[in-house]
Amino acid sequence: MAGGIGSRFWPYSRTSKPKQFLDILGVGKTLLQQTFDRFAKILPVENILIVTNASYKEIVIEQLPLLPIENILLEPYRRNTAPCIAYANAKIAVRNTNANIVVAPSDHHIIMEDEFLGIVNKSLDFVEKEDALLTLGIKPSRPETGYGYIQIQHDNKFEKANPGFNRVKTFTEKPDFEMAKVFVESGEFFWNSGLFFWSLKSIDKAFSQSLPDIHAMFREGSDKYYTDKEEKFIEEIYPKCKNISIDYGVMEMAQNVCVIPSDFGWSDLGTWGSLFEHSSKDKDGNHTKGDNIFIYNTNNCIVNTPGKKCVVVEGLNDFIVVDSDDILLVCKLKDEQLIKQFVGDVKIKLGEKYI
């Protein structure tokens, strides 16, 4: 899934080129390229599909030259993750009705890749034999309020037959800090990674029960996928799709949801704070990116500037300072959740130019 606009990384991430197409970590590859390379280690390239917004077609082609062009699924409108996944399911069904599927966001950071890929293989084996919708839960390292949580349900018979897997009891969207503390201390809750596994048969059944309209719409195009009629068909049905996530639309409704608790150095890199956590820092705890940055009496800050612009920062603690040619953002790290509000305000007053 590579269609998001990454607004929480504004102004570095812009609608014209959001974070999945950027080298956020400074490793020489974009987040999309890192995700593709990760899965290409265990999956044939022809089995990898990228679902993205139609406006990003050329960027995907440029960044993933090995990917068959028919494997780039173009959404004419943003309708959240459920339509995105339904589109991919319908297209996969044309090629293989017995497929087992992993659904992954394109902008995650994974430190222990070999361990992660082992879990992917184990999970695909599990959904091949079990009629289950599997999500990957991350062992929480702190009471994070920016993630959703999954509560495990202890079922000794199930766990004995499926070591390492648990049934899901509840999903909870982003809690407040006190509730997040309770979750972490209980040992029963895991972060919802947004990584999913299922067989095509299991996810089709779940869609037909929970989102039958969306499921039926995409299946009507079975004779058009992989032909020159696909684009027109998708353009016609997408405006009719409900804007809904796979979590709300399917996972929270289903009775056969399972989780594999994991810990392999994961971050969704959804915010400047999550990037800061995984970035190298100087002796004062600052992370800088830019050629000509001068810092004085400053601690625990992100300073990100393009090219050779000379930037001087003095006397800041726990701030985000991001300069992106025509935009300058200065914001307290602890208040970074306000960035979405800033983007909305700028859009209302100044239009799309700065978005």
Q: Which helix (H) or strand (E) holds 156?
A: helix 156-161
Domain 7-272: CATH class, spelled out: alpha beta
* Residue ranges for the chain with pLDDT beneath 50: none
What pLDDT shows up at residue 154? 85
What pLDDT shows up at residue 156? 82
What pLDDT shows up at residue 347? 95
pTM value is 0.91
What pLDDT shows up at residue 146? 79
What pLDDT shows up at residue 7? 86
The answer to whether the beta carbons of residues 251 and 192 sit under 8 Å apart is no
The answer to whether the beta carbons of residues 1 and 103 sit under 8 Å apart is yes
Report domain extents, the chain: 7-272, 280-354
What pLDDT shows up at residue 278? 83
- The CA distance from 124 to 198, in Å, is 7
The answer to whether the beta carbons of residues 75 and 238 sit under 8 Å apart is yes
